[in-house]
Amino acid sequence: TGSSRPQRILKAVQKNATKGDPQSVISAIDYYCRHKEWAMNVGDDKGLILDSVLTEVNPSMALELGTYCGYSSVRIARLLSPNSKLITVEFNPAFAAIARQIIAYAGLQDKVTIVEGASGDLIPKMKERFGLKSFDFVFLDHWKDRYVPDTKLLEDCGLLRKGTVLLADNVICPGAPEYLKYVRNNPRYESRYYPSVLEYTKAEDGLEKSVFLG
Ligand SMILES: O=C(NCCc1nnc(-c2ccc3[nH]cnc3c2)[nH]1)c1cc(-c2ccc(F)cc2)cc(O)c1O
Ligand SMILES: [Mg+2]
């Protein structure tokens, strides 16, 4: 039984990044995934769009659905103000274990809480478990067929407030056509598409930013 791709990504971080330096962790993962083996991180092209939207929103409470190896958790958490927090949901325990180590290597463990389980089960428990009112920012990067049900669930659980920003990865590749229809035809959202490329490739992809209007 050999190593897994996430394990190899962790090793690349431990070998090439500087402990406590989030940017070096991001660069180490991007280098590895561009030159050694592809992986489904949001990547450096779409990552710059994520950075700019995040800086604009400056969230106190952020939610990420789909942690994978923690690459976007590090991208998000490194830009959060002091006392701001990121909760990230991961379904796969093996992914979560690697992400925890990568987030800790970046020195961001105090800003990030990784929750393991299905988003559909965890979202209804968030208010009580984390004593939070609502999220200021949500990054959707999990299973693409969960984007619509989980957005509806966030609405129904009162976890979105007037002005909450949803940013969805992969709306072109692998694609989230139902989600695009949902947010673009819904008067409760103001949506904008940011064209880009699929991580580490020249294939078309992009991010959809949707502001919840309450
Ligand atoms: O599947 C993806 N991402 C999802 C991973 C995940 N990590 N965690 C979850 C989770 C977390 C809580 C959940 N609760 C319920 N389902 C859950 C699923 N899902 C994904 C796939 C691609 C991709 C593109 C082109 C290809 F040829 C092949 C692949 C690119 C990307 O940027 C992705 O994000
Ligand atoms: Mg993605």
Could you give the CA distance from residue 68 to residue 133 in angstroms, rounded to a whole number?
Answer: 26
* Average confidence (pLDDT) per 10 residues, the chain, 214 residues: 94 98 99 98 98 98 98 99 98 98 99 98 98 98 98 98 99 98 98 98 98 98
Q: Which structure tokens are listed for 174?
A: 């692998």
22, 26, 35, 36, 179 from 76: Cα distances, Å: 10, 11, 24, 24, 22
The pairing of strands 204-212 and 189-197 is: antiparallel
Residue 158's nearest CA partner among 128, 190, 189 is 128
- Residue 136: per-residue pLDDT: 99
Distance, CA of 83 to CA of 61 (rounded, Å): 9
Helix axes 93-105, 22-35, angle to 10 degrees: 130
> Distance (Å, rounded) from C-alpha 122 to C-alpha 65?
11
Query: Cα dist. 15→20, 44, 77, 156 in Å?
Result: 14, 20, 22, 44
Q: Which candidate in 41, 64, 170, 205 is catalytic?
A: 170
Atom of ligand 1 nearest to the CA of 203: 25
Q: What is the DSSP letter of 201?
A: S
The yes-or-no answer on residue 204 being catalytic is no
Q: How many alpha carbons lie under 13 Å from residue 12 in its C-beta half-sphere? A: 24
Ligand 1, CB cutoff 6 Å, lining residues: 40, 65-68, 89-91, 95, 118-119, 141-143, 146, 169-170, 173-174, 198-199
> What is this structure's pTM?
0.98
DSSP character for 19?
T
**Token pair in block for residue 199:** 């991580």
